[in-house]
């Protein structure tokens, strides 16, 4: 079993790293490099300051997860210009360099901008994979070989482009145990939820969530109606219709 944490939250320094050192637990931190440089997560910022977004995102912020990546970036960059981030909640470059020197810690990529990968063009995907790898290797002095897909979203282009960029492994959030049949660029990973109960998280850790009945029900309702927010309902993201809403300032 391997433990991994996404997003390099600053609180990992006080809540996770001491435990990892005390119990000598190997752990991988998946880091989105632009979030490290900004000091905060774009998704928290847009949720917190949705009132400052242009329409249609002001009314329905979740549409930012479904538009093209270039639209998402321009809306997010504009919000950061107008409402600068407050206190840092992501580790700094120095923090990443420090934890990477611990024998228990492996640093890996979570892309540059925590992009919604199925909404990216192929050249944007290359940029997300190449630049995050390059910067993390520069910050840590170590080779970066693995990536975790932000929000667990990926499509059939990812494996080929990750191989071209020099990665040897990538992780989804498909919750089941690893088998010999799994493709190394689409490895399963059981995730725990920040707001999940002990029981829910135990089910996640054991790969028992969602239950087969719940999964079938969600898939059926997803086939009937387009998802309103980025919940892929058991479908691969390439099967989900990511419509681009009209952008009004």
Q: Would you say 192 or 223 has its CB closer to Zn ion? A: 192
Q: Would you say 7 or 124 has its CB closer to Zn ion? A: 7
133-170 burial, b at 16+ Cβ within 10 Å, e below that, comes to bbbbeebbeeebebbbbbbbbbbebbbebbeebebeeb
C-beta of 73: minimal distance to Zn ion in Å? 16
Q: Would you say 42 or 57 has its CB closer to Zn ion? A: 42
Q: What is the DSSP letter of 90?
A: B
Query: Which residue number has the CB closest to Zn ion?
Result: 6
Which residues inside 129-158 make contact with Zn ion, applying CB under 5 A?
A: 150
Q: Would you say 141 or 187 has its CB closer to Zn ion? A: 187
C-beta of 117: minimal distance to Zn ion in Å? 12
Q: Would you say 118 or 150 has its CB closer to Zn ion? A: 150
Residues comprising the chain, all counted? 249
> Contacts with Zn ion: how many residues (CB under 5 A)?
3
Q: Does 128 bind Zn ion (CB under 5 A)?
A: no
In three-state secondary structure terms, 26 is coil
**Which of 3, 4, 7, 24 forms a contact with Zn ion (CB under 5 A)?**
7
Q: Does 6 bind Zn ion (CB under 5 A)?
A: yes
Of the candidate spans 7-15, 60-68, 83-91, 117-125, the one that interacts with Zn ion by CB under 5 A turns out to be: 7-15
d(CA 51, CA 182): 43
Residues forming beta bridges with residue 107, ordered by sequence position:
29
The pair of structure tokens assigned to 39 is 């000091």
Among 6, 11, 5, 194, residue whose Cα is nearest residue 95: 11
Number of Cβ within 10 Å of residue 72's Cβ equals 22
Q: Would you say 7 or 95 has its CB closer to Zn ion? A: 7
d(CA 228, CA 206): 29
Strand-strand pairing, 3-6 and 27-31? parallel
Q: Does 35 bind Zn ion (CB under 5 A)?
A: no
The pair of structure tokens assigned to 189 is 């990973």
Of the candidate spans 2-10, 93-101, 155-163, 196-204, the one that interacts with Zn ion by CB under 5 A turns out to be: 2-10
Of the candidate spans 6-14, 21-29, 51-59, 71-79, the one that interacts with Zn ion by CB under 5 A turns out to be: 6-14
Q: Would you say 55 or 64 has its CB closer to Zn ion? A: 64
Are 30 and 109 in contact by the 8 Å Cβ rule? The answer is yes
Interacting residues with Zn ion (CB under 5 A)? 6-7, 150
């Amino acid at each position: 079993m391997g433990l991994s944490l996404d997003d390099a939250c600053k609180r990992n320094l006080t809540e996770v790293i001491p435990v990892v050192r005390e119990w000598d637990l190997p752990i991988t931190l998946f880091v989105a490099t632009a979030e490290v440089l900004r000091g905060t997560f774009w998704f928290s910022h847009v949720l917190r300051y949705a009132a400052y977004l242009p329409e249609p995102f002001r009314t329905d912020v979740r549409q930012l997860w479904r538009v093209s990546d270039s639209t998402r970036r321009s809306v997010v960059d504009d919000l950061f210009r107008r409402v600068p981030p407050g206190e840092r909640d992501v580790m700094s470059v120095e923090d990443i360099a420090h934890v990477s020197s611990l024998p228990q810690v492996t640093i890996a990529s979570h892309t540059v901008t925590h992009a919604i990968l199925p909404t990216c063009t192929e050249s944007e995907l290359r940029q997300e994979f190449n630049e995050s790898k390059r910067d993390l290797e520069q910050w840590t002095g170590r080779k970066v070989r693995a990536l975790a897909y932000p929000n667990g979203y990926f499509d059939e282009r990812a494996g080929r482009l990750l191989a071209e960029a020099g990665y040897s492994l990538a992780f989804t959030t498909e919750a089941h145990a690893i088998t010999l049949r799994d493709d190394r660029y689409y490895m399963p990973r059981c995730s725990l939820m920040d707001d999940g109960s002990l029981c829910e998280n135990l089910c996640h850790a054991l790969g028992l969530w969602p239950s087969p009945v719940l999964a079938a029900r969600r898939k059926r309702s997803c086939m009937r109606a387009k998802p309103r927010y980025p919940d892929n309902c058991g479908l691969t993201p390439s099967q989900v219709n990511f419509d681009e809403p009209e952008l009004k300032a």
